[in-house]
Amino acid sequence: MLKAIFTLDYEIHGNGTGSPLALMIEPTERLLQLFDQYGAKLTIMADIGELFKFKQYFEDNGRDDYHYEAITKQLCDAVRRGHDVQLHIHSSYFNARHDKGYWVQDWSEYDFARLKFDRMDEMVKQGKQFLETLLQPVDPKYKCTVFRAANWSVCPSQNVIKALLDNGIEIDTSVFKYGRREGRVNFDYSQSFHQLAPWRVDEHDICQQNDSGKLWEFPIYTEKRWVGAFLTLQRIYRAYLSRIHKFEDSSVESNSPETKLPRKSFLERLLNRMTLVFPWKADFNQCSGKQLINALERAHANYAHDGVALPFVLIGHSKLYSHLNEWSLRPFLAHIEKNRERFDFAKFNDFPLDKALNSPGREHN
């Protein structure tokens, strides 16, 4: 059986612009209402860096222009309704300042995985404490145990793993197999253990499996797909938003050139373009409902066996959840609802970590 875990990165635009009411609160409420119709569960990955700044603005100015109280109310309401809230960190917000209607971030702290250990440890600690203080009065059993880094930045991973474990985080869900970035954030997940099944991570490398590891990686489900699979109306909408809310500060580029990944050779770049195959994430904002159904069926055919439940982790962003997206997502939710003998909805804590998840094993790259 496969159980769909819907994770929602809860944030405004990456360049620090936008209204939390329009980009976080209203779309998330529509998504919660939709999920309630099908019995689906949403895991809100709340960006603590932004929330801290919205709170500070409220306290300093006496005006809740960034809707901090409505945000915290929504998070509490989501937990009350049986959904989940976990930790997401845009590290560049911790030193951000407000200027002329947008947040000027500290670009030197943009790449979470390349912060000094003490700095990332402090951020994780503050975020976990905030969420547990906020949500345990709603649900005394609530614990913040799951983490996602902004921009999937958990490489290099040794300090990240230690910071998460030192603060009681049990699961990371930042990695997507085949993923690779160079520039503002640098990582290479092409050798990660699996595209679907969770693994206990090696303390030195989050992509590698180690049976004695204490942190689990629940990867975002990813396939290698032809470039044509990326052409959807939702992706066009995402590209449009990215263009009109682009970063203006060139210093966003990595300030640690010595840690950049080796540049691909001309031949490698040429071959990559010729094959036109790229990592395709199960993104419920940008993929069509039909695409998600087909991906779920492929994953079930490849990995479901012996009645063992495995997570099928999807990613989305509140700022991208449009009415078109809602229309496209409904068939996928209905497909799971109608095929409960093979599929179900879940949260991370539905998977007991003290028991083996019986990974299907390492994949061939």
Non-local (6+) Cβ contacts of 275 within 8 A are none
Q: Specify if 34 maps to a domain.
A: yes
Q: What is the dihedral of CA 133, 162, 185, 232, to 10 degrees?
A: -60
Q: Specify if 16 maps to a domain.
A: yes
pLDDT in tens, 325-363: 999 999 999 999 999 999 999 999 999 887 656 556 556
- Of residues 260, 322, 304, the one with CA closest to residue 3: 304
Q: Specify if 25 maps to a domain.
A: yes
Confidence of residue 233 (pLDDT cuts 50, 70, 90): low
The residue-averaged pLDDT of 152-178 equals: 97
Q: Say what percent of the chain tops pLDDT 90.
A: 76
Non-local (6+) Cβ contacts of 255 within 8 A are 107, 108
The residue-averaged pLDDT of 107-120 equals: 97
Q: Specify if 222 maps to a domain.
A: yes
Q: Check pLDDT > 60 for residue 107.
A: yes
The residue-averaged pLDDT of 114-136 equals: 98
The residue-averaged pLDDT of 146-153 equals: 97
Q: In the prediction, which pLDDT does 261 show?
A: 45
Q: Specify if 361 maps to a domain.
A: no
Q: Specify if 11 maps to a domain.
A: yes
pLDDT in tens, 197-208: 999 999 999 999
Average pLDDT, the chain: 89
Supply the CATH number for residue 11's domain. 3.20.20.370
pLDDT in tens, 80-102: 999 999 999 999 999 999 998 88
Q: In what helix (H) or strand (E) does residue 96 lie, and over which residues does it extend? A: none
Q: Specify if 365 maps to a domain.
A: no
Q: Specify if 319 maps to a domain.
A: yes
Name the domain count of the chain.
1
Q: Check pLDDT > 50 for residue 11.
A: yes
Q: Check pLDDT > 80 for residue 246.
A: no
Which two three-digit tokens encode residue 43?
């895991």
Range of the domain at 204: 2-350
Q: In the prediction, which pLDDT does 100 show?
A: 87
